Structure formats: C-alpha cells, structure tokens
Amino acid sequence: MSEYDARLADRVRTRGVLGPDDAARLLLPVADALAALHATGAAHGALSPTAVRIEGEGRAVLVDRAVVAPDPSYTAPDPSAGLRAHPAPDDVWAFAALLRFVTTGTSPHAGQLPTAGTNGFRDIGWLAPITELALLADPRERPSMAEVAAYLRARVGGPAPSDGRRRPSGPLLAIGGAAVIVGLALVGAALLFLGPDDEPAGRRPAASSTGPDRSGDAGDGRQEEPAPSETADAVSARELEEFARDYVELASRDPEQGFRLLTRSYQQQSPRYREVWSAIDDPRILAITPDPLAMSVSYTYRYSLPGGRTRTEDITLRLVRRGERLLIAGASAR
C-alpha cells in the first residue's frame, strides 16, 4: 500500500470491492465518528466516498465537511420535499450507500440501489439487513448511527467507542455469535421475506399429528417437497383462512416450530426467520383473503415491536400440500 490511498473511492477503484467483514472493519471507525457527531446534535451532511480517507495503516478516517463538497449521489431522498430537515438520518442513509459501494462498487445514482423488500441486498451478505434498514425512504424508520456502529462491531469486533456514548440497548439482539438487529422488524416481513423471515406457522391439518420431528417434515432436509402440481388436492377457503390465523399465532409464539412449516427450499431462502419472528409480539390479523385456486392466502396483520412500536403489513403466503399438511413455499409482502 502507498502512504495512503487518499480517498475511499480510489481504494475501491484500484483494489476492488471488499467482503462484508472487511468492509465493516474498514468503515467501523467512520460509523463511530458519525455516531459521536450525532450525539452532540450535529451531523456531517456530506458523506460520500470522497469524504473518507484511508490512512497509511489502512484505517478509514472521516474528512471534515468543511473540506469536502457534498456529492448529490449520496444525498438521501427527501419525502418531505424540503419541508423538514433530518440531517442525522440522512447521514445514516449515506453511510449505508457507502457500505454498499465498498462491497459492490455500485453507487446510489442512476437507480443502482435496490428497492427495499427485493433480492437486491443479498449480494452483501450479513450487511444486508442493516443496509436495507438504513436506506429506507422514510428517515424516521432508519436506525440511528450508534445502532449501525453497534451492529458492525458485534460482528467484526473492535474497541467500543471511547467518547462516553452509551451503547444502544433494546434494538440489538445477539444470536448465534453474530448480532441481528431486532429492530429489523421495524421494516417487518416485507424486508425479510426475500432472505428472511416471515414465516409461517400454520395450522396442521388433522392428520399431521406426525409432528415436526418425523422424517417427512419439511425441516429434516432428507426429502424434497413435491411441486405444487403434485399436491393438487383441493383446499377450501376456510382451510386457508384457518392456516393463516394459526400460522401467525404459532410463528410469533414459537419461531422454531413455525420454521418447520416452510418447505425445504423456502427455509434456505429464509435465514433470518427466527430472529425476526422472535421480535414480533401480539400479532393480530385484521383481514384475510384466501384463494383456493392459486393455493395462496393474503392477510393484513398488525403486530408490536420492541420499544412499543406497532406495524401493519399485507402478506401473501403461497402454499403447497404435502401429504395431509400444508407448507409455505413462498411469501411476499406489499
């Protein structure tokens, strides 16, 4: 490495993109610097690849706004059309765009950032949840910079901030050695359906007394589910409605049992299922629309999140029948 690569943009251009762990280690000091700035009531307002320098030892340093020009590409969308300032959340948005730039080489301009609730975040691994949260259009739904920094630190380590700031509480939940933001549920199943979690704990038809541990269960990994066309037994609207109601109740009460009601392939697409459902409390279905011909059921439900927030979402489950059981083969959120 030369004395320094000057700008982060140069580092990515000359050395290529980084994996999620290396990107987090590189940008964690920048996240801490922004969090410290926000703790004073100030914000940076000009974060971009040109606002981050790489020192000789490879440490990323945030450049003072006074000596860097804002990059319009890294300016967060403004849903208030200029009527309300939200500088700290906009720094969070820009930092998430920066994370994506370092891991993929893509920048926010020209529609290169994926839309929330799509597959476009899967290519950045475990950074996907926090990045998608931070890129939400509504600044009120983005995590704080301190929460972003804590998320990165929980995965890659590093010293705690030395500025006396309190570590974020409630929203962080450590699971499986890595940190998963329970606040992911702030964007709900819509965010996580495509690699996460809204899953199903559905009702088991009467003859499914075999239970989840039998070899025929979706979670044993030894038997591939038949395609929907191979399980074409008629399903009534009432059966679909009961499935949806029982599923929502079971998934929030026992995410592990809910996970067993996904098909094997959908389990593989839902790595954050348990984490998200563990954060959902008191789900209440407000409306259900079963579609027996399509083997699907749509519902609107409201649930509570850590910190007392509530969220309402519209979900559609795509089902298949395996023997006498219904399993969830896919889901989407609107």
What digits encode the pLDDT tens for the residues 25-81? 999 999 999 999 999 999 999 999 999 999 877 889 999 988 888 898 898 887 665
Higher pLDDT, 190 or 255: 255
* Higher pLDDT among residues 242 and 111, named by residue: 242
Residue 121: pLDDT band with limits 50, 70, 90: low
Most confident of 68-77, 161-170, 268-277: 68-77
CATH topology of domain 192-333: Nuclear Transport Factor 2; Chain: A, (3.10.450)
* CB neighbour list of residue 72: distance below 8 Å, 6 or more residues apart: 109
- What's the CA gap between 145 and 295, in Å, rounded? 43
First to last CA, the chain: 47
Q: What is the 8-class DSSP label of residue 293?
A: T
**What is the percent of the chain where pLDDT is above 70?**
68
Q: What is the CA radius of gyration of the chain?
A: 22
Domain ranges of the chain: 6-168, 192-333
Checking if the pLDDT of 250 tops 90, the result is yes
Query: How confident is the model at residue 78, as a pLDDT?
Result: 74
- Tokens 């140069």, residue? 10
pLDDT tens digits, residue range 253-262?
A: 999 999 999 9
Task: Classify domain 6-168 at the CATH class level.
Answer: mainly alpha
The string of pLDDT tens digits covering residues 86-110 is 799 999 999 999 999 999 988 886 4
